[in-house]
Amino acid sequence: MSDQTTPQDPQTQHPEPEQPAQNIPHPGLTDDMRQQPDHGEESYVGSGRLEGKRALITGGDSGIGRAVALAFAREGADVAIVYLPDEEEDAQETVRLVEAAGRRALTLPGDIRDEAFCAQLVERTVSELGGLDVLVNNAAYQMAQDGGLLDLTTEQLDRTFKTNLYAMFWITKAALPHLQPGSSIINTTSVQAYEPSPQLIDYATTKAGILNFTKALAQQVAEQGIRVNAVAPGPIWTPLIPATMPEEKVKEFGADTPLGRAGQPAELAPAYVFFASQESSYITGERIGVTGGRTLA
């Protein structure tokens, strides 16, 4: 658990490796993790920076998405979250946190690899929340392959690209007609865009694509008063890790960072709040790295 006001050593502020050497079924539920992530439940304190805004967050059921939904709600935003139907249990906990902050939560279960669903989730958000001010393209798929490219199937490649890239294009395209001057689009890229792991060649490729999508779109929509930025996480402790990586990798996850540990979802949320708020009004086409000290070239 972290505290926003008391100075702390960032090396020991959160649990250090070893994490439990654990695998859980994909897509991964938070309650199945023996070491629970910190989403800011006890630490994040809002100050009205997003009062009255309407936000749509893909992958909002757990991990980074849950932490962002919680922070947005405590800053005054209503939140729609998109997630796979198998993740309903996690989604309902996110709903509970958003509603406990006094804001509305809209659930949108479905598969973003379906272009029609991507259009529908935007329309439902606009209809039920009364508009859209902040879009967070956060959902992602990864599955480590120790055999590298030779073990990468066309099925996995298709799933990774459709979840991470195609859906971002489809959802953003559907959202743009509804965004007004002052709106913000925030995409989740990764340290993998800069330092790709051989076992994650397909995932890393999509994360580099997300970075370039962010830069290009920011130039396209600047004249409309819409800002587009990205957050680049390093190793962050979420259900995705034990659900997609070998046990030995899970155990030492994050140990290779200068801070010597994995990050927690709660440590990502302030970057998304910053990009969603007017405090970042002169920033577009940029990225913030939250990597535990790993440099982004």
Residue 1 has pLDDT above 60, yes or no: no
In percent, the amount of the chain with pLDDT more than 90 equals 77
Mean pLDDT computed over 119-138:
98
pLDDT one-digit tens code per residue, 197-226: 999 999 999 999 999 999 999 999 999 999
pLDDT band at 27 (very low <50, low <70, confident <90, very high): confident
pTM over 0.85: yes
CB 38 within 8 A of CB 14: yes
Task: Supply the DSSP string of 221-234, one letter for each residue.
Answer: HGGGT-EEEEEEE-
pLDDT band at 18 (very low <50, low <70, confident <90, very high): low
Q: Angle at the Cα of 112 (from 273 to 276), degrees rounded to 5?
A: 10
Mean pLDDT computed over 38-62:
95
pLDDT band at 3 (very low <50, low <70, confident <90, very high): low
Residue 251 has pLDDT above 90, yes or no: no
Tokens of 69: 């939904």
Q: How many CA atoms lie within 13 A of 32 on its CB side?
A: 20
Residue 4 has pLDDT above 80, yes or no: no
Residue 92 has pLDDT above 90, yes or no: yes
Q: Which CATH architecture has domain 51-290?
A: 3-Layer(aba) Sandwich (3.40)
Single out the catalytic residue among 44, 141, 194, 203.
203
Residue 2 has pLDDT above 50, yes or no: no
- CA–CA separation, 71 and 76 (whole Å): 9
pLDDT one-digit tens code per residue, 218-241: 999 999 999 999 999 999 888 878
- CA–CA separation, 226 and 221 (whole Å): 6
* Residue-level pLDDT at 241: 80
Residue linked to tokens 């509603």: 99
Instruction: Give me the phi and psi of 54, to 5 degrees please.
Output: -115, 120
Nearest to 265 by CA among 71, 48, 33, 22: 71
Mean pLDDT of the chain: 93
pLDDT band at 257 (very low <50, low <70, confident <90, very high): very high
Task: Judge whether 203 counts as a catalytic residue.
Answer: yes
* Residue-level pLDDT at 29: 82
Mean pLDDT computed over 58-74:
97
DSSP single-letter state for residue 261: S
Mean pLDDT computed over 67-95:
97
